[in-house]
Amino acid sequence: MKQVNKSIPKIDGMGLAKGKPAFTDDLTDSNAIIVKILRSPHAFARIKNINVQKAVKYPGVECVFTYKDVPRNVFTRAGQGFPEPSPKDKFILDEYVRYVGDEVAIIAAATEETAEQAMKLIDVEYEVFEPVLDFEKAENNKSIIHPEKEPYTMFPMGFDPKKNIACIYDMHVGDVDEVLKNSEVIIDKIYYTQAQAHVAIEPHSSTAYIDPYERLNIITSTQTPVHLRRIIGEALGMPINKIRVVKPRVGGGFGGKQQIHGELFCALVTLKTGRPSKCIYSRKEVFESSFSRHAMRLNIKIGAEKNGKLKAIDLRILSDTGAYGEHALTVFMIAGSKTLPLYNKVDAVRFGGTVVYTNHTPAGAYRGYGAIQGNFALESAMDELADKLNIDPIELRKMNMIKEGETSEIFKIMGEGGEGTAQIIESCKLDYCLNRGSEMFKWNNKYHKKQINNDKVRGVGMAIAMQGSGIPNMDMGAALLKLNDDGFFNLLIGATDIGTGSDTILAQIAAETLNVPVDDIIVYASDSDLTPFDCGAYASSTTFVSGNGVKKAAEKMKNLLISEGAKHLQIDIEDTIFDGKLIKSKDGKKSISLKEISKGWLYYYGQGQKQIIAADSYVGKKSPPPYMAGFVEVEVDTKTGHFNIIDYTAVVDCGTTINPKLALGQMEGGLLQGIGMAVYEDVKYNKFGQMLTNNLMNYKIPTREDVPNINVEFADSYEPSGPYGAKSVGEIGIDTPPAAISNAIFNAVGVRITDLPITPEKVLMAIKKKEGK
């Protein structure tokens, strides 16, 4: 392979490094109206009266919207496939506000200062209700968060808003209760995971304008431009042929930009005034008024024989979706479907639970969603079993984990939005990941705790994980290749690069297929008018799904070149080849260069001119999981509970790494975010539902200095269904840190923290409790 499995720089890297205007705010009209949002100070209330007259008359104000001035169409903000597996429970503006930061009014003015001043002139009278702030008390609470009649779902999912239930799900294989009753050893534990903020560098940003064709154009930092266009059309009651959505460069997404944010507000203002508008969230708004990870309570039971063979797994989850139901079902399903197949040799397995509404900031998509929560419970419980049986945690996993050529009943029962898809695992190097990781990490030398001095002890922990590569039979990626004069190509893709380098990856796949340099592939991406359909950047789909679409389009282009070249050379297609530079006969006696023939097709009158274009698409029939093994060493101060992460080692099976350098960046970034969830990050509220961690002074995220050593290697693996053997790598890195770190702390000081994040205070209190103090 000449272009694939090569660490070439990002194709846009130099331009971004030079500060070229590329992001939404860079591309906004300099005369754009500023859009600001008046937000609720209450966690749960109804607007009894709202008076905007003073604000409307304030000099420089263009317009003000309340719930009385906008269409009342119910929708979901989740940028997902259709029919959407999220409750439709949101309005552009509503008389009810359901969390601190919910939208009350939209203000558009000439300047930000004017908009802020006008906002203060809006008089709002609220009827304040008792909020639901404890998700364990949400079901059947006397406070009903969605009392309105309009919300509905597009297929049955146990949706019952009168009970504050967004969805319910249950499945089982075998008689779990009977198998557990007959198991020789049982682990029965409860784990808690917290809400986590995305903290992308670029805040949510959008701008809108009307073009000469009287169409609404929206430029926005989104992960899902085509889904966003559909949602905007639905919310506004507007045909989508009047809407164009363009994604420029995005300064980080992590799932937070899979939903829509300020785009609707810009659209309303621009449609009313005819003028360009822009809405850039403040950092406070990003924290309070966008989305976070779903907090969960996970009850897990594991039954096993005394020799370590697993017999049954029972996982029950309660999930907090916050004020609205975006991704309520999908995140919940992934907590089971991307964890339980790791151990496919059990006799019985059960999964289910409930997703409830609360008056918290809405939860939504976040990198590794569901899987990281489920993995924390499952991999922690596995270590508890290993300790109880006095078995090395690595050996326990080797005994029970899925292997290449095997399958799991879970695959065909459960999927991201509902039913699953049966699949045989054709690439699984988990055994290699464990062996190589333990070797790199020197597990056998470190496994038992090591006393550094009287107060400090070191311990090690590990965990394994799996993810997916797109959503089978649902996610689609398409590509179009156009041959230009002088023999270079335009690659048009709907896939959305959100800083991952996917434009570069897809260019490499096209170049490899055509046997041309990557420099000859000019990428245009993510314009709902000009580029082909793509599901968007979520579910680890881009390399696998969009990459397969690009490969198919490039193969079609190669066949077209051979066909047209054979006509030009007056030889049979079967005797014609294309080597990236020349279209020639197999014996080499006749040839014409790609550059020459491209000019002939386009320039020379009377020579059969034609534009050569190839397009194709791909829908996955399976979702081949990437796998990894993570190992961590911590040093714990037994007097204070403070601990340092000394080393994190990961070995990953993501199939062929199309661009090893970019894959490494994804892994290191994912590991650091996983460490953030495990140790540092925690969305906190006071008793009134006001977020306390709404700025970067109060919300701690890890930096590279917090983890001195991160070591990542990739297994030699090849996935037959992937483009050039590739699987996904975007999410797998985030999954293992919570369980691995919890396991390491237990192995160091003998206490287990079951609620994230793992803080020095929790460790110290657990140590003191263990000592009877």
Confidence of residue 416 (pLDDT cuts 50, 70, 90): confident
Weakest mean pLDDT among 68-72, 451-455, 556-560: 451-455
Q: Which of 181, 225, 189 is nearest to 206 (CA)?
A: 225
pLDDT in tens, 455-491: 999 999 999 999 999 999 989 999 999 999 999 999 9
Percent of the chain with pLDDT over 70: 99
Domain ranges in the chain are 13-129+204-280, 295-471+622-770, 476-619
With a cut of 80, say whether residue 609 has pLDDT above it: no
Q: Please name the helix (run of DSSP H) or strand (run of DSSP E) that holds residue 300, with its range, or none.
A: strand 295-304
Query: Over 90: is that where the pLDDT of 705 sits?
Result: no
Is residue 606 pLDDT above 70, yes or no? Answer: no
Distances (CA, A) of 660 to 12, 281, 656, 663: 17, 34, 9, 5
Model pLDDT, residue 755: 98
Give pLDDT tens digits for 102-120: 999 999 999 999 999 999 9
User: In sequence order, what E strands does 422-455 have?
Assistant: 450-451
Cα distances (Å, whole numbers) of residue 670 to 68, 218, 628, 702, 741: 43, 30, 12, 12, 15
What pLDDT sits at residue 602? 60
Question: So what's the pLDDT on residue 284?
Answer: 98
The answer on pLDDT for 640 being more than 70 is: yes
CA 585 centroid distance within chain = 48
Rounded to an integer, the average pLDDT of 427-441 is 98
What is d(CA 13, CA 33) in angstroms, rounded to the nearest whole number? 31
Residue 525: the pLDDT is 97
Tell me the pLDDT tens digit for each residue of 193-205: 999 999 999 999 9
On whether the CB atoms of residues 65 and 38 are closer than 8 A, the answer is: no
Query: What does pLDDT average to over the chain?
Result: 96
Rounded CA-CA distance 227/79 in Å is 5
The angle at the Cα of 497, spanning 496 to 502, to the nearest 5 degrees, equals 110
Q: For residue 379, what pLDDT is reported?
A: 98
Residue-wise burial string across 670-691, b where 16 or more C-beta atoms lie within 10 A, e elsewhere: bbbbbbbbbbbbbbebeeebbb
Q: Classify strands 243-246 and 613-619 as parallel, antiparallel or unpaired.
A: unpaired
CA–CA separation, 175 vs 526, rounded Å? 48
**pLDDT for res 716:** 98
295-471+622-770 and 476-619, same CATH topology: yes
Q: Which pLDDT band holds residue 604 (cuts at 50, 70, 90)?
A: low
Quote the pLDDT of residue 145. Answer: 98
Percent above pLDDT 90 for the chain: 93
First vs last C-alpha separation in the chain: 63
pLDDT tens digits for range 143-178 = 999 999 999 999 899 999 999 999 999 999 999 999
Q: What average pLDDT score do residues 268-278 get?
A: 98
pLDDT of the residue at 454: 86
Sorting pLDDT into bands at 50, 70 and 90, what band is 600?
Answer: confident
**CATH code, residues 295-471+622-770:** 3.30.365.10
In this prediction, residue 534 carries a pLDDT of: 95
Tell me the average pLDDT across 309-325.
Answer: 98
How much is the pLDDT for 439?
Answer: 98
Which residue matches tokens 């001043």? 117
Q: Which of 248-257, 475-484, 605-614 has the lowest mean pLDDT?
A: 605-614
- Please state whether the peptide bond connecting residue 248 to the residue before it is cis, i.e. omega within 30 degrees of 0: no
pLDDT of residue 553: 98
pLDDT at 417 exceeding the cut of 80: no
Predicted TM-score of the model (pTM) = 0.97
Q: Is the peptide bond before 83 cis (omega within 30 degrees of 0)?
A: yes
> Quick one: 62 exposed, middle or buried, by C-beta within 10 A (0-12, 13-18, 19+)?
buried
Query: Does domain 13-129+204-280 bear CATH number 3.40.50.300?
Result: no
Residue 601: predicted pLDDT: 66
337: number of Cβ within 10 Å: 26
Q: What is the model's pLDDT at position 456? A: 95
Binned at pLDDT 50, 70 and 90, residue 552 comes out as very high
Q: Which pLDDT does position 754 carry in this prediction?
A: 98
CA dihedral defined by 574, 575, 580, 583, rounded to 10 degrees?
-120
> Strands 643-653 and 710-714: what pairing?
parallel
* C-alpha to C-alpha distance for 302 and 314, rounded to whole angstroms: 6
* Top-tier CATH class for 476-619: alpha beta
